[in-house]
Structure 1
Amino acid sequence: MTEIAIKNLKAGETRTDGALPIGNGRLVVSCTKPRGLLRRTWSFRYRKADLHGEIKVGDYPALSLEHARQEARQLLELVRQGIDPKVARAESRLANLEVARQAVELGSFQALLDAYVAYLLRLGKESARDVAAIFKRHVTTPWPDLAKLPANRIAPENIRDILAKMVRKGIGRQTNIVRSYLQAAFTHGAHSDLDPRRAASDTAVFKLSSNPVALVPRVQEFESTRDRVLSDDELRHLWKALAGLRTEVAHTIRCNMLLGGQRFLQLLRATWPDYNTKTQVLRLADPKGKRRVAVPHLLPVSKQVAKLLEELRKLNGAGTYIFSTTGGERPIHHTSLPPIVRAIAQASAELTQTAAAPFQGRDIRRSMETRLQALNVSREVRAQLLSHGRTSGVQQKHYERHDYLAEKTSALRQLEMHLAAVFSARPKVSRVPRPAPQRSADTGLIDAVPQQT
C-alpha cells in the first residue's frame, strides 16, 4: 500500500496493507463519507484461536502510513502472546487514569510551599510573607513546570538547579536562605503526612520518603561570618549623614543605634500599642528560631529616644506602625534599609580613608554590642538587651522571669553617653609628619628644621 493509494480511496472502499507479516492480524484502511466529507480510518483486524476482533488505530492523515504500521506491529505482538488488544488498551487507559488521579490527590511542589507558608502564618511568624515572596521569586515563577509536579517527585537535582540559577545571577547569601526554607518546607510536609489529624481527614498528602534538599550542600563561601565594627569616625559620619535622609528613615536608624542595635526586622514590627509612654518601655516581639510563640522583648526608652518617637508619632500616629513611611499604614521593609546604609558607608570610606571594606547595615548591631562590651556591660545583660538565645534552657524557659529593665536602662544610658561623646568629638585628620630635626655632624647642635612646602 502506498500513500497515493490511500488518498485515491473512494467512499465505501477498503484496502489492506501488505507490509505486516502474514497471519494473526492485518492493517486495513477504510474510507467513509459522514456528513459529506471523506474520512479514511486505520483499523487492526486480528484472529488467533479464540482471539478475534477489530480495533481502531487512528485516522489518516493524522496518523501516517508508517506510524499506523508501527502501531499495528505492536498490536500484532500482543495477539501472538495471546493478549487481546482491546483488553490491553482498556487496562492501559485505566492505569493512566489512576496515575492522573493520584497526581491530583498528591500534593504538588507548589502546594507543599504554600502549606509551609500557611503553617508560618498560623504560628504568627512575621517572616511568612517574606518566605512566600522568596518562593515566588526564586522557585515557582522561574520553574512553573516544576511547581506543578507532585512534591514527592522533586529530586535533589531539581533543588540543585534552582539554587544554581540563583548563583549564576550573582545572588549570594540568599541562595543559602532559599535552600534553608526549601528544606524546612519538605520537613514540614513530611511531618504533616504523619499528623493523625490529617490522616483522619480526606485532604491530599505529599507521601514524602526523603528530603531532597538534605543532599544539596550549602554554598560555604556565602556563609562567611562578618566581624566588621564601625570606628569612631565611621559612627560620626553615619550619624551626621542621617540628617540628609527622610525623617522617618533617619529616626528609625537613630532609634536602632540608641537602643543598642536591635534587629531591624524586629524593631520595624513595633506598633504604637507596643510603646507605653507612662513606663517609657517599648515592647518588641522576638519570634526568632523555632519558637511557636514570640517572646516579649522589653526595652527601656531614654529621653532622647522618647523625643524621636514623639516626632514619629506626629508623622505616623494616624496608623499602626511606629517606623513607617506610609503614615503608619505599613512598616518600613527591612530590605530597604541596607542600601541606604551602604550608600552612607561608601561615602564614609572616602572621607575617613579607611582601609577596611565599607560597613553594612548588619554591622551596626555588632558595633553597638562591641562598645557595650568595652563599657564593661556583662554578657548576661547584653544577651538580655539584644535578645540572644534567651529561652534555650529549661531554667531560662520556665523559671527565670526577671525582666532586666534596670540593667538594660543602665547599659543603654552608658551607651548613649558614650555615643554622645563620639559624635561630638572632632574627627581625626591625617597629617603629614614633620621631619625630625637633624644634628650637625660637626657641632652636634640641632640644625634648623626645613620649612614645609
Structure 2
Amino acid sequence: MGRIKAKRERLTIPRIEAFKRPADKEQAFLWDTESPRLAVKATASGKAFIFEGKLKGQTIRRVIGDVLNWTIEDARSEARRLQTIIDQGNDPRELDREKAESKTRAKAATEAAEKEAENRKQYTLRALLDAYSNLLESKGKEQSARQTRSIVKCHVLKPHPAIADLPASEITAHHIASLVRSVLEQGKERAAGLLRSYLSAAFNAARKSPFDAKLPASLIPYNVTINPVEPVSTIPVNRGNRTLNTEEMKSYLAGLADDDLSNMALRLALFAGGQRMAQLLRAKINDYEPEAQTLRLWDGKGKRTTPREHLLPLAPKAAAIIEKLIDRAKIQEDANAKKENRAPAYNNLLLFSSYGKTQLVETTPGKRAAEICKLMKCEPFDLLDIRRTCETMMAGLGIHKDTRAQLLSHGLSGVQTAHYDRYEYITEKRKALVAWEKRLDEIATGKKSGNVVQIKQEKAS
C-alpha cells in the first residue's frame, strides 16, 4: 500500500478545520511539511492524525488519534517517535502488540495476586471449621455442630487467632500438633481428643469435596489436597464411668418434681429409658400416637446420611408427660392463632417449645440437670451420665442388652440391622419401659412394688 498523493502544507488549526474530504472520495490526506510522515486523514466519520513510514520496503501506517483529542505538536512528537523506531529497524506495530500483551499479562498477574490475597483472607482454617459445622447442621447433627463450634472457639479461635486466620490449604501437621498439644498441656485430654477428631473430619470433608457429589461445592475453593491432621497421633477419649446410685437417683427425681419445661424434658428422657435430649426436643405432636402411646423420634447420630426412625412404646408415666406437653402446646397455639387472627394448626407443633414456635434450646435441660446436681452436693454428673445410669439400672432388672440397644438406639448400623432386621422390638421395649418406670417409682418412694419382677435374660426375637 503506497502513500496516497495529496497536498502538503504546514499543519495548523485553521488548515485542519478547513480541510474537507471530496465528496467522491472515501478518504483524503493533508500532509505536514514540518513532519513529513504526519498527515491528517479525513473520512466520513471524522478527522485523525496518522503516521506513515516504510520498513524494509513495506508501508507502515498507524493512526495516532482524533484531531479533537491531540494537539498538532503532540502528533508531531508521536510521528517522530514512530519514525525513530523504524530507523532502528523495528516495527512499531509489533512493539505496540508486545506492550499490549505485557500490559495484559501484568493485569492478569495483578488480578491473580488480588484473588490469591482474597482467597487467603476468605478460605481460612477459621472459615473451614465454620463451614464444617454448617455441614453438620445441614445433616441434622445439631448437637455435634454445637460441640464442634464450642471446642473450636475455646481451643482454636480464641487462643490461636494467627493460626485460625491462615489459609486452610497452608495448615501443616506442625500447626495441628501445636493446637492439640496446647489443650493437652492444660490437662484437658478429652477436649484435645475431640479437637483432633473435629479438625480431621473438617479437612477430610474439604479434601474429598471435589470428588464427592454428596459434599457441598462450597468446600472446593479451600483447595485442601491433604489432611494435615493424619500425622498427629490420635488421643484416646476416656469413656465416662459415672453412674448415679439409688439415693442419688432419688434426689435427682425429687429435683424434677415441678412442671418447668426443662424438668419435663429431663423426666421424659429419664422415664423413656435415657433418651438423647437432642432427639427428644425435636419431637412434634404428630410424632406421638395416643392410642398406641408410641413416640417416634429420629436418630441422625453417627455416619447416617438420613435419620433413622426410632419408636418408643411409652409406659404410663412417660405417656402422661407427653399428654401434658400436647395440651400445653395446643394452648400456646390457640393463643398465637387468636393473636394472628388465623385458625389453629396443631400437627407440626413442637412438644418442647418456649413460645409455641421456637424449640427449647438443647443445652437448657443440661443446665437444669447441672443445677440439680449442685443442689445434691454430690459428684458432678451430666445427661450422658444419666443415660448411662438408666442402661446400667435396666441391665440390673434383667433387660437384655439387645433390647437395651434398641431402646436407646445404640449404633444399629450393621448389615443385618440396616438391611434385613425390620422388627421394631415394640413388645420387648414396652415391657422394658414398664419395668423401668416401676423401678423408678420404687426409688422415688422407697417402697418395693410387689409386682416388679426381673425380666428373663433372653435374646429378643
1:208 and 2:224 aligned: yes
> What letter is aligned with 1:338?
G
Aligned to 1:250: 263
Aligned pair partner of 2:298 in 285, 288, 292? 285
Aligned pair partner of 1:409 in 430, 455, 461? 430
Distance 2:174 2:370 in 1: 36
- Displacement after TM superposition at 1:255 (Å): 0.9
Flag the 1:349–1:299 CA change in 2: closer, same or farther, 3 A: same
Flag the 1:210–1:335 CA change in 2: closer, same or farther, 3 A: same
Distance 1:332 1:407 in 2: 31
Distance 1:349 1:202 in 2: 49
Aligned to 1:322: 351
Aligned to 2:249: 235
- Which sections of structure 1, spanning at least 5 residues, go unmatched? 1-87, 351-356, 428-453
- Displacement after TM superposition at 1:124 (Å): 3.4
Higher Rg of the two aligned structures: 2
Flag the 1:367–1:211 CA change in 2: closer, same or farther, 3 A: same
1:399 and 2:427 aligned: no
Matched position secondary structure for 1:296: strand
Aligned to 1:225: 239
Written as runs of structure 1 = structure 2, the 5 A alignment for 1:27-46 is none
- Displacement after TM superposition at 1:151 (Å): 1.5
Identity, % of aligned positions:
31
Aligned pair partner of 2:440 in 419, 432, 437? 419
Given that 1:286 and 1:387 are in contact with CA atoms closer than 8 Å, whether structure 2 keeps it comes out as: yes
> What letter is aligned with 1:373?
A
Distance 1:178 1:171 in 2: 11
- Write the deviation string for residues 135-170 of structure 1: whole angstroms up to 9, x where unpaired: 773445665554443211012233344445656777
Aligned pair partner of 2:391 in 361, 364, 369? 369
Aligned pair partner of 2:370 in 342, 366, 383? 342
Aligned to 2:324: 311
Q: TM-score, normalised by structure 1?
A: 0.63
- Write the deviation string for residues 102-122 of structure 1: whole angstroms up to 9, x where unpaired: 454674334433443343344
Aligned to 2:128: 112
- Displacement after TM superposition at 1:216 (Å): 3.0
Given that 1:282 and 1:301 are in contact with CA atoms closer than 8 Å, whether structure 2 keeps it comes out as: yes
Distance 1:420 1:382 in 2: 20
Flag the 1:322–1:168 CA change in 2: closer, same or farther, 3 A: farther
1:298 and 2:284 aligned: no
Given that 1:348 and 1:358 are in contact with CA atoms closer than 8 Å, whether structure 2 keeps it comes out as: no
**Count of residues in Structure 1 that have an aligned counterpart in Structure 2:** 329
Aligned to 2:33: none
> What letter is aligned with 1:271?
K
Root-mean-square deviation (CA, aligned residues, Å) is: 3.7
Aligned to 1:84: none
Aligned pair partner of 2:200 in 172, 183, 187? 183
Flag the 1:129–1:214 CA change in 2: closer, same or farther, 3 A: same
Matched position secondary structure for 1:130: helix
Distance 2:364 2:183 in 1: 21
- Which sections of structure 2, spanning at least 5 residues, go unmatched? 1-101, 334-348, 449-461
Distance 2:214 2:377 in 1: 58
- Write the deviation string for residues 232-271 of structure 1: whole angstroms up to 9, x where unpaired: 111111111222x662111111111111111222222222
Given that 2:152 and 2:195 are in contact with CA atoms closer than 8 Å, whether structure 1 keeps it comes out as: no
| Higher mean C-alpha deviation, range 90-99 or range 138-147 | 90-99
- Write the deviation string for residues 36-64 of structure 1: whole angstroms up to 9, x where unpaired: xxxxxxxxxxxxxxxxxxxxxxxxxxxxx
Matched position secondary structure for 1:297: strand
Flag the 1:143–1:343 CA change in 2: closer, same or farther, 3 A: same
| Higher mean C-alpha deviation, range 374-383 or range 315-324 | 315-324
Given that 1:281 and 1:301 are in contact with CA atoms closer than 8 Å, whether structure 2 keeps it comes out as: yes
Q: TM-score, normalised by structure 2?
A: 0.62
> What letter is aligned with 1:117?
S
